[in-house]
Amino acid sequence: MAAESGRRVGVIGAGIVGLCAALWLQRDGHRVFLVEPGTPGEGASFGNAGCFNGSSVTPAGMPGVVKQVPRWLMDPLGPLALRWSYLPQILPYLVRFVRSATPEKVRAQARAMRPLVGPTVPLVRELAKMAGADTLVHQRGHLYVYRSAEALAKDGFAWALRRDNGVEVDEFDADELRQLEPSLSREYVRGLLVRENGHTSNPFGLVSAFVELFLRQGGEIVPARAFGFRLDGQRLTAIATDRGDQPADRAVICAGAYSKPLAASLGDRVPLETERGYHLMIRDPEIMPRIPTADADGKFVATPMDTGLRFAGTVELAGLDAPPNWRRSQILLAQGRRMLPGLAKEHAEERISMWMGHRPATPDSLPVIGPSRASPDVLYAFGHGHVGMTAAPMTGKIVADLVGGRAASIDIAPFAASRFG
Protein backbone atom coordinates (compact mmCIF):
# COMPACT_ATOMS: atom_id res chain seq x y z
CA MET A 1 0.00 0.00 0.00
CA ALA A 2 2.93 2.34 0.73
CA ALA A 3 4.04 2.15 -2.90
CA GLU A 4 0.47 2.93 -3.98
CA SER A 5 0.42 6.16 -2.01
CA GLY A 6 3.92 7.58 -2.32
CA ARG A 7 4.22 8.16 -6.03
CA ARG A 8 5.65 11.19 -7.78
CA VAL A 9 2.83 12.37 -9.99
CA GLY A 10 3.03 15.14 -12.59
CA VAL A 11 -0.25 16.84 -13.48
CA ILE A 12 -0.06 18.69 -16.80
CA GLY A 13 -2.25 21.80 -16.80
CA ALA A 14 -3.40 23.91 -13.86
CA GLY A 15 -7.05 24.52 -14.70
CA ILE A 16 -9.97 23.33 -12.58
CA VAL A 17 -9.48 19.71 -13.73
CA GLY A 18 -5.73 19.65 -13.00
CA LEU A 19 -6.25 21.25 -9.59
CA CYS A 20 -9.02 18.86 -8.54
CA ALA A 21 -6.85 15.91 -9.62
CA ALA A 22 -3.82 17.33 -7.81
CA LEU A 23 -5.72 17.85 -4.54
CA TRP A 24 -7.27 14.39 -4.45
CA LEU A 25 -3.84 12.90 -5.32
CA GLN A 26 -2.24 14.79 -2.44
CA ARG A 27 -4.93 13.49 -0.12
CA ASP A 28 -3.83 9.98 -1.07
CA GLY A 29 -0.29 10.82 0.01
CA HIS A 30 1.34 11.27 -3.40
CA ARG A 31 4.06 13.84 -4.14
CA VAL A 32 2.43 15.97 -6.80
CA PHE A 33 3.74 18.64 -9.16
CA LEU A 34 1.83 20.71 -11.68
CA VAL A 35 3.33 21.54 -15.07
CA GLU A 36 1.85 24.86 -16.23
CA PRO A 37 3.40 27.44 -18.56
CA GLY A 38 0.94 30.23 -17.71
CA THR A 39 -0.85 31.52 -14.65
CA PRO A 40 -2.82 28.69 -13.01
CA GLY A 41 -6.55 29.08 -13.59
CA GLU A 42 -6.27 31.47 -16.53
CA GLY A 43 -7.40 28.95 -19.17
CA ALA A 44 -11.05 28.05 -19.79
CA SER A 45 -11.48 27.79 -16.03
CA PHE A 46 -11.15 31.57 -15.72
CA GLY A 47 -14.13 33.09 -17.46
CA ASN A 48 -16.86 30.45 -17.57
CA ALA A 49 -20.36 30.82 -16.19
CA GLY A 50 -19.26 29.21 -12.91
CA CYS A 51 -22.08 26.68 -12.76
CA PHE A 52 -21.73 23.36 -10.97
CA ASN A 53 -24.74 21.76 -12.61
CA GLY A 54 -25.25 18.13 -11.70
CA SER A 55 -28.13 18.19 -14.16
CA SER A 56 -25.78 18.76 -17.13
CA VAL A 57 -26.18 15.35 -18.73
CA THR A 58 -27.29 16.44 -22.20
CA PRO A 59 -24.62 16.61 -24.91
CA ALA A 60 -24.09 19.60 -27.21
CA GLY A 61 -25.14 17.44 -30.14
CA MET A 62 -28.81 16.72 -29.49
CA PRO A 63 -31.09 15.01 -32.02
CA GLY A 64 -32.31 17.61 -34.50
CA VAL A 65 -29.36 19.93 -33.88
CA VAL A 66 -28.44 19.90 -37.57
CA LYS A 67 -31.80 21.40 -38.51
CA GLN A 68 -31.21 24.33 -36.15
CA VAL A 69 -27.68 25.12 -37.38
CA PRO A 70 -28.61 27.18 -40.49
CA ARG A 71 -30.95 29.40 -38.41
CA TRP A 72 -28.26 29.90 -35.74
CA LEU A 73 -25.57 30.70 -38.32
CA MET A 74 -27.77 33.21 -40.16
CA ASP A 75 -28.72 35.05 -36.96
CA PRO A 76 -26.04 37.59 -35.97
CA LEU A 77 -27.32 37.33 -32.38
CA GLY A 78 -27.40 33.52 -32.62
CA PRO A 79 -25.58 31.17 -30.25
CA LEU A 80 -23.32 29.61 -32.92
CA ALA A 81 -20.72 31.16 -35.22
CA LEU A 82 -18.33 29.53 -37.67
CA ARG A 83 -15.29 31.10 -39.29
CA TRP A 84 -15.76 29.72 -42.77
CA SER A 85 -12.00 29.53 -43.40
CA TYR A 86 -11.89 26.96 -40.57
CA LEU A 87 -14.57 24.72 -42.09
CA PRO A 88 -12.23 22.33 -43.97
CA GLN A 89 -10.27 21.69 -40.76
CA ILE A 90 -13.29 21.11 -38.55
CA LEU A 91 -15.39 19.15 -41.03
CA PRO A 92 -14.35 15.63 -39.85
CA TYR A 93 -15.20 16.69 -36.28
CA LEU A 94 -18.61 17.96 -37.37
CA VAL A 95 -19.34 14.69 -39.16
CA ARG A 96 -18.62 12.77 -35.95
CA PHE A 97 -20.66 15.32 -33.98
CA VAL A 98 -23.72 14.74 -36.16
CA ARG A 99 -23.27 10.96 -36.03
CA SER A 100 -23.27 11.12 -32.21
CA ALA A 101 -26.55 13.00 -32.10
CA THR A 102 -28.96 10.08 -32.48
CA PRO A 103 -31.55 9.59 -29.70
CA GLU A 104 -30.05 6.24 -28.75
CA LYS A 105 -26.48 7.53 -28.48
CA VAL A 106 -27.58 10.65 -26.65
CA ARG A 107 -29.43 8.52 -24.05
CA ALA A 108 -26.22 6.53 -23.49
CA GLN A 109 -24.17 9.75 -23.24
CA ALA A 110 -26.53 11.14 -20.62
CA ARG A 111 -26.41 7.88 -18.60
CA ALA A 112 -22.60 8.02 -18.67
CA MET A 113 -22.46 11.67 -17.63
CA ARG A 114 -24.84 11.62 -14.67
CA PRO A 115 -22.49 9.84 -12.21
CA LEU A 116 -19.65 12.15 -13.29
CA VAL A 117 -21.55 15.40 -12.81
CA GLY A 118 -24.25 14.45 -10.27
CA PRO A 119 -22.07 14.66 -7.12
CA THR A 120 -20.47 17.96 -8.16
CA VAL A 121 -21.81 20.25 -5.42
CA PRO A 122 -20.90 18.10 -2.40
CA LEU A 123 -17.50 17.29 -3.91
CA VAL A 124 -16.56 20.85 -4.82
CA ARG A 125 -17.75 21.97 -1.40
CA GLU A 126 -15.45 19.43 0.23
CA LEU A 127 -12.46 20.78 -1.70
CA ALA A 128 -13.49 24.41 -1.18
CA LYS A 129 -13.77 23.79 2.57
CA MET A 130 -10.27 22.31 2.66
CA ALA A 131 -9.07 25.40 0.76
CA GLY A 132 -10.91 27.83 3.08
CA ALA A 133 -12.95 29.01 0.10
CA ASP A 134 -16.41 27.67 0.95
CA THR A 135 -17.86 31.18 0.70
CA LEU A 136 -17.22 31.01 -3.08
CA VAL A 137 -19.59 28.04 -3.55
CA HIS A 138 -23.37 28.51 -3.48
CA GLN A 139 -26.36 26.24 -3.96
CA ARG A 140 -29.31 28.32 -5.13
CA GLY A 141 -30.21 26.07 -8.05
CA HIS A 142 -30.12 26.89 -11.74
CA LEU A 143 -33.01 28.45 -13.59
CA TYR A 144 -33.79 27.83 -17.28
CA VAL A 145 -36.20 30.36 -18.77
CA TYR A 146 -38.34 30.25 -21.91
CA ARG A 147 -40.26 32.87 -23.88
CA SER A 148 -43.05 30.49 -24.89
CA ALA A 149 -44.58 27.14 -24.01
CA GLU A 150 -43.69 26.01 -27.55
CA ALA A 151 -40.00 26.78 -26.98
CA LEU A 152 -40.12 24.70 -23.80
CA ALA A 153 -41.88 21.88 -25.63
CA LYS A 154 -39.04 21.85 -28.19
CA ASP A 155 -36.62 21.09 -25.35
CA GLY A 156 -38.85 18.23 -24.16
CA PHE A 157 -36.34 15.51 -25.01
CA ALA A 158 -33.56 17.24 -23.04
CA TRP A 159 -35.80 17.61 -19.97
CA ALA A 160 -36.92 13.98 -20.25
CA LEU A 161 -33.28 12.91 -20.34
CA ARG A 162 -32.51 14.88 -17.19
CA ARG A 163 -35.53 13.50 -15.37
CA ASP A 164 -34.78 9.94 -16.55
CA ASN A 165 -31.38 10.34 -14.93
CA GLY A 166 -32.77 11.34 -11.55
CA VAL A 167 -32.73 15.14 -11.86
CA GLU A 168 -35.63 16.78 -10.00
CA VAL A 169 -37.15 19.81 -11.70
CA ASP A 170 -39.68 22.41 -10.50
CA GLU A 171 -41.70 24.16 -13.18
CA PHE A 172 -42.97 27.75 -12.85
CA ASP A 173 -45.49 29.74 -14.87
CA ALA A 174 -45.06 33.43 -15.67
CA ASP A 175 -46.41 34.75 -12.33
CA GLU A 176 -44.46 32.28 -10.22
CA LEU A 177 -41.32 33.04 -12.23
CA ARG A 178 -41.71 36.73 -11.48
CA GLN A 179 -41.89 36.02 -7.76
CA LEU A 180 -38.90 33.71 -7.90
CA GLU A 181 -36.65 36.06 -9.89
CA PRO A 182 -38.17 39.55 -10.15
CA SER A 183 -35.25 40.91 -12.19
CA LEU A 184 -36.24 38.86 -15.25
CA SER A 185 -38.00 40.25 -18.31
CA ARG A 186 -41.74 39.67 -18.53
CA GLU A 187 -41.12 38.09 -21.91
CA TYR A 188 -40.31 34.86 -20.09
CA VAL A 189 -43.39 32.80 -19.43
CA ARG A 190 -41.91 29.48 -18.28
CA GLY A 191 -39.10 28.68 -15.88
CA LEU A 192 -37.58 25.39 -14.79
CA LEU A 193 -35.57 25.33 -11.60
CA VAL A 194 -33.07 22.59 -10.78
CA ARG A 195 -32.45 22.99 -7.09
CA GLU A 196 -29.55 20.54 -6.83
CA ASN A 197 -27.32 22.77 -8.99
CA GLY A 198 -24.78 25.19 -7.58
CA HIS A 199 -22.34 27.82 -8.73
CA THR A 200 -19.21 29.65 -7.78
CA SER A 201 -19.28 33.41 -7.55
CA ASN A 202 -15.63 33.54 -8.65
CA PRO A 203 -14.26 30.70 -10.82
CA PHE A 204 -10.73 32.14 -10.93
CA GLY A 205 -10.83 32.80 -7.19
CA LEU A 206 -11.84 29.20 -6.57
CA VAL A 207 -9.04 27.76 -8.71
CA SER A 208 -6.57 30.18 -7.08
CA ALA A 209 -7.67 29.01 -3.62
CA PHE A 210 -7.07 25.41 -4.76
CA VAL A 211 -3.59 26.43 -5.97
CA GLU A 212 -2.78 27.94 -2.58
CA LEU A 213 -3.95 24.80 -0.78
CA PHE A 214 -1.91 22.66 -3.18
CA LEU A 215 1.24 24.70 -2.43
CA ARG A 216 0.56 24.70 1.35
CA GLN A 217 0.37 20.92 1.21
CA GLY A 218 3.83 20.70 -0.32
CA GLY A 219 2.86 20.75 -4.02
CA GLU A 220 5.21 22.22 -6.59
CA ILE A 221 4.49 24.17 -9.78
CA VAL A 222 6.90 23.69 -12.66
CA PRO A 223 6.53 26.72 -14.98
CA ALA A 224 6.94 24.80 -18.22
CA ARG A 225 5.10 23.48 -21.26
CA ALA A 226 4.92 19.69 -21.55
CA PHE A 227 5.43 18.24 -25.02
CA GLY A 228 5.88 14.50 -24.51
CA PHE A 229 6.81 11.58 -22.29
CA ARG A 230 9.91 9.48 -21.65
CA LEU A 231 8.95 5.83 -21.54
CA ASP A 232 11.01 2.77 -20.72
CA GLY A 233 8.85 0.19 -22.48
CA GLN A 234 5.43 0.92 -21.02
CA ARG A 235 6.83 2.49 -17.87
CA LEU A 236 6.89 6.27 -17.51
CA THR A 237 10.19 7.77 -16.39
CA ALA A 238 9.67 11.51 -17.03
CA ILE A 239 7.50 14.22 -18.55
CA ALA A 240 9.36 16.04 -21.34
CA THR A 241 8.99 19.83 -21.06
CA ASP A 242 10.58 22.92 -22.58
CA ARG A 243 12.42 23.27 -19.27
CA GLY A 244 13.87 19.78 -19.33
CA ASP A 245 12.65 16.36 -18.31
CA GLN A 246 10.63 16.14 -15.08
CA PRO A 247 11.03 12.69 -13.50
CA ALA A 248 7.65 11.13 -12.62
CA ASP A 249 6.09 7.74 -11.83
CA ARG A 250 2.72 8.83 -13.16
CA ALA A 251 1.46 11.68 -15.36
CA VAL A 252 -2.03 13.08 -15.87
CA ILE A 253 -2.90 15.13 -18.95
CA CYS A 254 -5.27 17.95 -17.92
CA ALA A 255 -4.26 20.49 -20.56
CA GLY A 256 -7.84 21.25 -21.62
CA ALA A 257 -8.20 22.18 -25.29
CA TYR A 258 -4.42 21.82 -25.73
CA SER A 259 -4.33 18.12 -24.83
CA LYS A 260 -4.59 16.73 -28.37
CA PRO A 261 -0.86 16.65 -29.32
CA LEU A 262 0.06 15.16 -25.93
CA ALA A 263 -2.43 12.31 -26.46
CA ALA A 264 -1.20 11.90 -30.05
CA SER A 265 2.36 11.45 -28.75
CA LEU A 266 1.00 8.40 -26.87
CA GLY A 267 -0.72 6.90 -29.91
CA ASP A 268 -4.27 8.18 -29.22
CA ARG A 269 -5.87 10.23 -31.99
CA VAL A 270 -8.55 12.11 -30.09
CA PRO A 271 -10.75 14.43 -32.20
CA LEU A 272 -10.47 17.26 -29.68
CA GLU A 273 -11.69 20.69 -30.79
CA THR A 274 -12.13 24.07 -29.20
CA GLU A 275 -15.65 25.38 -28.84
CA ARG A 276 -14.70 28.96 -28.21
CA GLY A 277 -16.94 30.76 -25.75
CA TYR A 278 -17.19 34.36 -24.58
CA HIS A 279 -18.24 36.32 -21.57
CA LEU A 280 -19.14 39.90 -20.88
CA MET A 281 -19.22 41.34 -17.38
CA ILE A 282 -20.81 44.44 -15.95
CA ARG A 283 -19.22 45.77 -12.79
CA ASP A 284 -21.72 47.18 -10.24
CA PRO A 285 -24.77 46.25 -12.32
CA GLU A 286 -28.05 48.07 -11.68
CA ILE A 287 -29.70 44.70 -11.16
CA MET A 288 -28.50 41.17 -10.51
CA PRO A 289 -30.38 37.85 -10.65
CA ARG A 290 -30.05 35.87 -7.44
CA ILE A 291 -30.04 32.50 -9.21
CA PRO A 292 -27.81 31.69 -12.22
CA THR A 293 -30.25 31.84 -15.12
CA ALA A 294 -30.00 30.33 -18.59
CA ASP A 295 -31.88 31.80 -21.53
CA ALA A 296 -32.75 28.50 -23.17
CA ASP A 297 -33.12 29.92 -26.68
CA GLY A 298 -30.15 32.30 -26.64
CA LYS A 299 -28.04 29.61 -24.95
CA PHE A 300 -26.30 31.96 -22.55
CA VAL A 301 -26.21 32.16 -18.77
CA ALA A 302 -26.39 35.16 -16.45
CA THR A 303 -24.46 34.44 -13.27
CA PRO A 304 -24.19 36.66 -10.20
CA MET A 305 -20.48 36.94 -9.42
CA ASP A 306 -18.51 38.68 -6.68
CA THR A 307 -16.94 40.93 -9.32
CA GLY A 308 -20.16 41.79 -11.17
CA LEU A 309 -22.79 40.27 -13.41
CA ARG A 310 -21.45 37.79 -15.95
CA PHE A 311 -23.16 36.82 -19.20
CA ALA A 312 -21.41 33.75 -20.63
CA GLY A 313 -22.01 31.43 -23.51
CA THR A 314 -22.09 31.17 -27.30
CA VAL A 315 -20.07 28.77 -29.40
CA GLU A 316 -17.61 29.88 -32.05
CA LEU A 317 -15.82 27.35 -34.24
CA ALA A 318 -12.55 28.94 -35.31
CA GLY A 319 -9.69 26.88 -33.82
CA LEU A 320 -7.14 27.67 -31.14
CA ASP A 321 -5.20 30.40 -32.93
CA ALA A 322 -7.70 32.87 -34.44
CA PRO A 323 -7.95 36.18 -32.53
CA PRO A 324 -11.14 36.76 -30.51
CA ASN A 325 -14.11 38.34 -32.25
CA TRP A 326 -15.32 40.69 -29.50
CA ARG A 327 -18.57 41.15 -31.32
CA ARG A 328 -19.50 37.74 -29.86
CA SER A 329 -19.18 39.24 -26.35
CA GLN A 330 -21.10 42.38 -27.29
CA ILE A 331 -23.95 40.19 -28.51
CA LEU A 332 -24.17 38.82 -24.98
CA LEU A 333 -24.63 42.35 -23.66
CA ALA A 334 -27.54 43.02 -26.01
CA GLN A 335 -29.15 39.73 -25.01
CA GLY A 336 -28.46 40.29 -21.32
CA ARG A 337 -30.14 43.70 -21.37
CA ARG A 338 -33.17 42.07 -22.94
CA MET A 339 -33.18 39.37 -20.26
CA LEU A 340 -32.82 41.86 -17.40
CA PRO A 341 -34.61 45.08 -18.39
CA GLY A 342 -33.52 46.79 -15.16
CA LEU A 343 -30.02 47.09 -16.58
CA ALA A 344 -29.04 50.46 -18.01
CA LYS A 345 -29.15 50.87 -21.80
CA GLU A 346 -25.58 52.18 -21.76
CA HIS A 347 -22.63 51.36 -19.52
CA ALA A 348 -19.35 53.23 -19.23
CA GLU A 349 -16.55 51.33 -20.92
CA GLU A 350 -14.60 50.87 -17.69
CA ARG A 351 -17.50 48.92 -16.16
CA ILE A 352 -17.47 46.36 -18.98
CA SER A 353 -14.96 43.53 -19.43
CA MET A 354 -14.84 40.80 -22.05
CA TRP A 355 -13.17 37.41 -22.30
CA MET A 356 -12.81 34.51 -24.71
CA GLY A 357 -11.86 30.95 -23.73
CA HIS A 358 -11.49 27.49 -25.22
CA ARG A 359 -13.91 24.74 -24.19
CA PRO A 360 -12.10 21.42 -24.72
CA ALA A 361 -14.75 19.65 -26.79
CA THR A 362 -15.24 16.13 -28.13
CA PRO A 363 -17.85 15.22 -30.77
CA ASP A 364 -19.88 13.09 -28.32
CA SER A 365 -19.57 15.62 -25.46
CA LEU A 366 -17.99 12.97 -23.23
CA PRO A 367 -14.59 13.71 -21.69
CA VAL A 368 -11.54 11.53 -22.13
CA ILE A 369 -10.65 9.88 -18.84
CA GLY A 370 -8.47 6.82 -18.30
CA PRO A 371 -5.13 5.32 -19.29
CA SER A 372 -3.31 6.14 -22.52
CA ARG A 373 -2.62 3.59 -25.23
CA ALA A 374 1.18 3.72 -24.82
CA SER A 375 1.43 3.50 -21.03
CA PRO A 376 -0.89 2.80 -18.10
CA ASP A 377 1.26 5.29 -16.17
CA VAL A 378 -0.02 8.23 -18.24
CA LEU A 379 -3.66 9.08 -17.64
CA TYR A 380 -6.05 11.34 -19.51
CA ALA A 381 -8.42 13.81 -17.86
CA PHE A 382 -9.47 16.33 -20.50
CA GLY A 383 -12.20 17.13 -23.02
CA HIS A 384 -14.93 18.22 -20.61
CA GLY A 385 -16.42 20.70 -23.06
CA HIS A 386 -19.29 22.75 -21.65
CA VAL A 387 -19.19 21.09 -18.22
CA GLY A 388 -15.57 21.11 -17.07
CA MET A 389 -16.21 23.01 -13.85
CA THR A 390 -19.02 20.64 -12.98
CA ALA A 391 -17.22 17.42 -13.88
CA ALA A 392 -13.80 18.36 -12.48
CA PRO A 393 -14.29 17.30 -8.83
CA MET A 394 -15.36 13.75 -9.76
CA THR A 395 -12.77 13.52 -12.56
CA GLY A 396 -10.06 14.35 -10.03
CA LYS A 397 -11.34 11.64 -7.73
CA ILE A 398 -11.26 9.09 -10.56
CA VAL A 399 -7.66 10.07 -11.36
CA ALA A 400 -6.69 9.52 -7.72
CA ASP A 401 -8.42 6.12 -7.75
CA LEU A 402 -6.55 5.03 -10.87
CA VAL A 403 -3.16 6.27 -9.66
CA GLY A 404 -3.80 4.53 -6.33
CA GLY A 405 -4.45 1.22 -8.10
CA ARG A 406 -8.16 1.24 -7.19
CA ALA A 407 -11.09 0.75 -9.52
CA ALA A 408 -12.85 4.03 -10.34
CA SER A 409 -16.00 4.55 -8.28
CA ILE A 410 -18.08 5.08 -11.45
CA ASP A 411 -18.09 3.43 -14.86
CA ILE A 412 -15.40 5.15 -16.93
CA ALA A 413 -15.58 2.83 -19.97
CA PRO A 414 -17.62 5.44 -21.96
CA PHE A 415 -14.78 7.95 -21.47
CA ALA A 416 -11.99 5.76 -22.93
CA ALA A 417 -9.82 7.40 -25.61
CA SER A 418 -10.08 4.16 -27.60
CA ARG A 419 -13.74 4.93 -28.45
CA PHE A 420 -12.42 7.12 -31.27
CA GLY A 421 -10.63 4.15 -32.89
Instruction: Please report, as ranges, the residues that interact with ligand FAD according to CB under 6 A.
Output: 12-18, 35-38, 43-45, 48-51, 225-226, 254-256, 258, 277-279, 312-313, 357, 359-360, 382, 384-390
Which CB atom, from 348 or from 362, has the smaller least distance to ligand FAD? 362
The least CB distance from residue 175 to ligand FAD, in Å, is 28
The least CB distance from residue 39 to ligand FAD, in Å, is 8
Which CB atom, from 153 or from 215, has the smaller least distance to ligand FAD? 215
State the pairing for strand pair 190-194/142-146: antiparallel
The least CB distance from residue 347 to ligand FAD, in Å, is 20
The least CB distance from residue 297 to ligand FAD, in Å, is 17
Name 266's Cβ contacts closer than 8 Å, sequence gap at least 6: 229, 372, 373, 374, 375, 378
Residue closest to ligand FAD (Cβ): 388
Amino acid letter, residue 162: R
Which CB atom, from 187 or from 212, has the smaller least distance to ligand FAD? 212
Question: Around Cβ 347, how many Cβ atoms within 10 Å?
Answer: 17
Which CB atom, from 13 or from 271, has the smaller least distance to ligand FAD? 13
The least CB distance from residue 275 to ligand FAD, in Å, is 7
Which CB atom, from 198 or from 285, has the smaller least distance to ligand FAD? 198
The least CB distance from residue 177 to ligand FAD, in Å, is 21
State the pairing for strand pair 170-173/190-194: antiparallel
The least CB distance from residue 50 to ligand FAD, in Å, is 5
The least CB distance from residue 359 to ligand FAD, in Å, is 5
Which CB atom, from 182 or from 247, has the smaller least distance to ligand FAD? 247
Which CB atom, from 47 or from 285, has the smaller least distance to ligand FAD? 47
- Beta bridge partners, 310, equal 281, 303
Which CB atom, from 58 or from 390, has the smaller least distance to ligand FAD? 390
